[in-house]
Amino acid sequence: MSSVFDKSFENLVLQLETPGIAVLILNRPRALNALNSATLRELRVALMGLAEDSTVRVVVFTGEGEKAFIAGADIAEMKDLSPGDGVAFAQSGHEVAKLLETMPKPVIAAVNGFALGGGTEMALACDFIIASEKAVFGQPEVGLGIIPGFGGCFRLARAVGLPRAKELIYSGRRVKADEAMAIGLVNHVLPAEGFLKAVIEHARTIAGQSASAVSKAKSLMVEFTEAMGLNTKIDAEAHAFGRLMGSFDQREGMGAFTEKRKPNFQGLTNV
Ligand code: CAA
């Protein structure tokens, strides 16, 4: 049977560290590791392979380079989506996030730089986050005329509480590593130098335990934190995300990002 480590990916790198620690690296540095459809498809294949591979006990998920973990969903690709395509795009992100959240082994998000929009959302779908001192989190979607579409509306609230999630999502404000630690978004903040090695050391502690017991604990905690209830909520989120595609503010917000200027939004409209 072919191993997931033998597969070749365009935008991902997979490495195996002993004992049983898979390092999954988002490798699209020209777009600061932004998530386009092709990358989401590759992530789905890689995560399904890692879930099934009996040699893998823990997954460490990180971004290539020092600048970004994931700078969000790909704005260039989303710019001209129709509402229907918007729903499908959000759902493909949800599928990846659900694989991270429910696969039968722990996934540690090693956030090495910008984790914005879909980047914060993918990190939140992992079991927990370890941040480099250079990490920057945020949900800047409302500044693009959209909302978080990969589960952020719910997983952020679950991590930091509803009032804090509301403030962060309504303002799009960025959160640096020390604040992320203070509000409970991340478990540890580590020096940028030697960051990935240090996260792998954390993973080693988990990999040394009973994999079956760890897996059972994970599945209970995921069910306990209402994954089933979450399914209904993220479905509603995907449809709301889709409804904003094609709106004046979405075209204006993403157009402004691409043209490197400030957006000029309409007032409150019925979308
Ligand atoms: N999508 C597509 N391309 C992106 C990107 C994204 N999310 N983020 C960065 N890039 C690209 C830039 O367009 C740029 O490409 P060019 O060199 O071809 O112009 C390249 O990556 C480098 O980016 P910058 O020049 O902007 O780098 P910077 O250091 O000046 O700024 C940054 C870094 C603050 C992360 C900035 O790139 C930024 O604000 N990126 C967008 C972040 C964002 O809004 N993310 C949310 C996306 S929406 C979303 O994720 C929806 C969802 O929930 C599903």
Please check whether residue 63 is in contact with residue 112, taking contact to mean a CB–CB distance below 8 angstroms: yes
pLDDT mean over 100-127: 97
Q: Which residues have CB under 8 Å from 234's CB, separation 6+?
A: 94, 97, 151, 154
Cα(186) to centroid(ligand 1), Å: 22
Is the peptide bond prior to 19 cis by the omega test (within 30 degrees of 0)? yes
Residue 10 known to be catalytic: no
For residues 230 and 235, what is the distance between their CA atoms, to the nearest angstrom? 8
Q: Is the pLDDT of residue 227 over 70?
A: no
Residues 25-76 pLDDT 10s: 999 999 999 999 999 999 999 999 999 999 999 999 999 998 999 999 999 9
Identify the pLDDT of residue 235. Answer: 84
pLDDT mean over 252-261: 95
* E-assigned strand segments in 2-86: 12-17, 21-26, 58-63, 68-70
pLDDT mean over 220-241: 80
Q: Which of 42, 64, 101, 121 is catalytic?
A: 121
Average pLDDT over the chain, rounded to an integer: 94
Structure tokens at 163: 């009032």
pTM (2 decimals)? Answer: 0.93
Residue 141 known to be catalytic: yes
- Any ligand 1 atom below 6 A from CB of 66: no
Cα(219) to centroid(ligand 1), Å: 34
- Residue ranges covered by each domain of the chain: 4-193
The lowest-confidence range among 145-154, 203-212, 215-224, 236-245 is 215-224
How far CA 87 is from CA of 23, 131, 246, in Å, comes to 30, 30, 12
For residues 33 and 74, what is the distance between their CA atoms, to the nearest angstrom? 9
pLDDT mean over 93-104: 96
| CATH number for the domain running over 4-193 | 3.90.226.10
Cα(32) to centroid(ligand 1), Å: 7
- Any ligand 1 atom below 6 A from CB of 124: no
Residues 116-173 pLDDT 10s: 999 999 999 999 999 999 999 999 999 999 999 999 999 999 999 999 999 999 999 9
What do you get for the CA distance between the two ends of the chain, in Å?
A: 49
When pLDDT is cut at 50, 70 and 90, the band that residue 1 belongs to is low
Q: Is the pLDDT of residue 254 over 70?
A: yes
When pLDDT is cut at 50, 70 and 90, the band that residue 222 belongs to is confident
